[in-house]
Chains A and B, each alone.
Chain A
Amino acid sequence: MAPSLSDIMTPDAAELARAAGGGASAPLEMGSPGHDLFVGLARLGDNTLILGHRVSEWCGHAPVLEEDIALANMALDLIGQTQLWLGLAGEVEGRGRSADDLAFLRDAWHFYNILLVERPNRDFGHTLMRQFLFDAWHQPMLKALEGSSDARIAEVAMKAGKEVAYHIERSADLVIRLGDGTEESHARMQDALDRLWPYAGEMFIGDEIDARLAEAGTIPAPESLRGAWDETVNAVLAEATLTRPDSGFAHKGGRQGRHTEHMGHILSSMQWLQRAYPGATW
């Protein structure tokens, strides 16, 4: 039966959200240490999952064979890290959700990755620039996490750090070579930088959850990574003869579950089988 107009007009947002299936599955009490840690870990694992997904879209379509190999390898690292971070998130949550449950059965508003990693691949220059801007953050983040007060986090960070040391070496090197290559490659890299720049700032903007995690010594405050990132980015852009945009504007929201339109499309392919055949094992 169609609802009457007055039902539709009911301004009870909480009731509507429950009816739509959101909110009702809030895993742990908001603000509890378990919930903070769950979100902190999901932020890490969702970044690697969504970036890994984007990178894997290149498989078989890269400009040279060596890049096909390198990108598949990088996507593989990122998916492997996702398994560890989301596995730990599920463990912390304590409701029996596995890394797969978290990856394949959450909707977009329960994903906490930054917007940068969901940006579309566009040309290879964009893909590389996105990777570089991310790697330049990812490396100091993992370095700091090696000193986490939570031994499980330190252990994952140690393993991931070895892989990411190679990622940043590679992405920085390619940004330099293409920035300082032909006129066209320079223009494409500058364009990629200009377009992606407004999505970089989100990496360094903390909220209360971040503050409490930093306070507990489990995950460093986003703001604390800015210096290391600036140093890497400035050095590489200078060598690449690229101009650092002077805008400080930052799109944000991903880390709180508010995403771009692209996110739904990523999930609709990524989660399709699990959603279409619930309960099957693969």
Chain B
Amino acid sequence: MYAQMVKSEATNDDPEMLAAFQARIDAGEKIEPKDWMPEGYRKTLIRQIGQHAHSEIVGQLPEGNWITRAPTLERKAILLAKVQDEAGHGLYLYCAAETLGISRDEMTEMLLSGRMKYSSIFNYPTLNWADIGAVGWLVDGAAIMNQVPLQRTSFGPYSRAMIRICKEESFHQRQGYDIMMKMAQGTPEQKQMAQDALNRYWYPSLMMFGPSDKDSVHSAQSMAWKIKINTNDELRQKFVDQTVQQAKYLGLTIPDLALKWNEEKGGHDFSEPDWSEFYEVLKGNGPCNTDRIEARQKAWEDGAWFREGLMAHAKKAEARRASAKVAAE
């Protein structure tokens, strides 16, 4: 997901306080920033929300890659609107994380130095125009799968950010599917681009949900705290079942020979992604890890004079206001 394999922190708080806290969560109450919370809850949330925010920011890059080459003015406008939304999502999420006592600059610093992660999916390249369709359809589609339940998460600011974000995500998925439709029904070359995009994005999209439940060590505590609502495998299954129908409608083939309907379980059987590839991507060995981080580092470093200039001006303006006030008195 946008937050994958978030390590949950152990907690050694007072057992009575812990029990009372858990009771609030079980009763469906929202935890607000000023409320008491276990240190582990706070730290896990910072990691999860921060990772989610970073994913929105880094996620601008693979799509931004096609803005100047979008094939029509309307597609260009839609893509600009979408990338703008993603930056906005990053902003809401950083604000939500900041209520937990960490600043956006600190989180940015951690992203740039590799101490915080972003979703593995954004380390894959967008190679043809249909990839922009596939990203909206599959990547935003998988994100929605995860984010809709997170609207009910226990932490108030996170839940409210998710509600705002989910409203925009469905537009993202629809515009992606619309591109795929045009491509799949277009010229032979366009159809080839669409199939190629699906071939490359299918397994990385399945990886977005994180490793299989049996290998997912941090889920139980996060689920008890309602900062994770469904298990990785539940969401992945739901995603596959939904996407199979959509691919069929497009006339595209999901690149999995083992994919078939299983009447008994009421869902599809499908092949697992190559998890060794997933772990390599997390380690920094995905096709675009270096490019993505370098792009973010460059933006940050090149922008230092700009941020400093604005701060210096604010200080000068403040000083001028103060001295004007003194003069007036």
Hey, which bits of chain A sit against chain B, CB under 8 A? 49, 53, 56-57, 59-69, 72-73, 75-76, 79-80, 82-83, 86, 99-100, 103-104, 123-125, 176-178, 180-182, 184-186, 188, 269-270, 272-274, 277, 279-282
Q: What 7 A-B pairs are tightest by C-beta distance, nearest first? A: A63-B303, A185-B309, A181-B309, A60-B60, A72-B84, A59-B64, A282-B71
**Bound Cα distance from A57 to B80, whole angstroms:** 11
Output the nearest chain B residue to A178 by Cβ-Cβ distance.
Answer: B309
**Bound Cα distance from A83 to B305, whole angstroms:** 35
Per-position contact with A for B39-72: 1 when CB-CB < 8 Å, else 0? Answer: 0000000000000000001001100100111111
**Bound Cα distance from A65 to B306, whole angstroms:** 12
B325 at the binding interface (Cβ < 8 Å): no
**In the complex, are the beta carbons of B68 and A269 less than 8 A apart?**
yes
Q: What is the interface size of chain B, counting residues whose CB is below 8 A from a CB of the partner?
A: 50
Task: For the complex formed, measure the closest distance between the CB of B101 and the CB atoms of chain A, giving whole angstroms.
Answer: 20
Task: For the complex formed, measure the closest distance between the CB of B116 and the CB atoms of chain A, giving whole angstroms.
Answer: 15
- Offer 28 A-B interface pairs, CB within 8 angstroms, sorted by A: A59-B60, A60-B64, A61-B299, A63-B306, A64-B307, A65-B90, A65-B94, A67-B306, A68-B87, A69-B91, A72-B80, A73-B84, A75-B67, A76-B84, A79-B76, A80-B77, A82-B73, A100-B73, A104-B71, A124-B302, A177-B313, A178-B310, A181-B310, A181-B316, A185-B305, A185-B306, A280-B71, A281-B182
**Bound Cα distance from A186 to B64, whole angstroms:** 30
B68: chain A residues at CB < 8 Å are 53, 56-57, 269-270
Task: For the complex formed, measure the closest distance between the CB of A51 and the CB atoms of chain B, giving whole angstroms.
Answer: 13
**Bound Cα distance from A49 to B312, whole angstroms:** 34
**Bound Cα distance from A263 to B33, whole angstroms:** 52
B70: chain A residues at CB < 8 Å are 273
Hey, which bits of chain B sit against chain A, CB under 8 A? 57, 60-61, 64, 67-77, 80-81, 83-84, 87-88, 90-91, 94, 104, 129, 179, 182, 186-187, 189-190, 295, 298-300, 302-314, 316
Task: For the complex formed, measure the closest distance between the CB of A222 and the CB atoms of chain B, giving whole angstroms.
Answer: 26
Centre residue among A61, A123, A274 by max chain B CB count within 10 A: A61
Output the nearest chain A residue to B84 by Cβ-Cβ distance.
Answer: A72
**In the complex, are the beta carbons of A76 and B81 less than 8 A apart?**
yes
**In the complex, are the beta carbons of A182 and B312 less than 8 A apart?**
yes
With A83-B73, A83-B77, A270-B68: A184-B309 Cβ-Cβ less than 8 Å: yes
Output the nearest chain B residue to A180 by Cβ-Cβ distance.
Answer: B313
**In the complex, are the beta carbons of B80 and A79 less than 8 A apart?**
yes
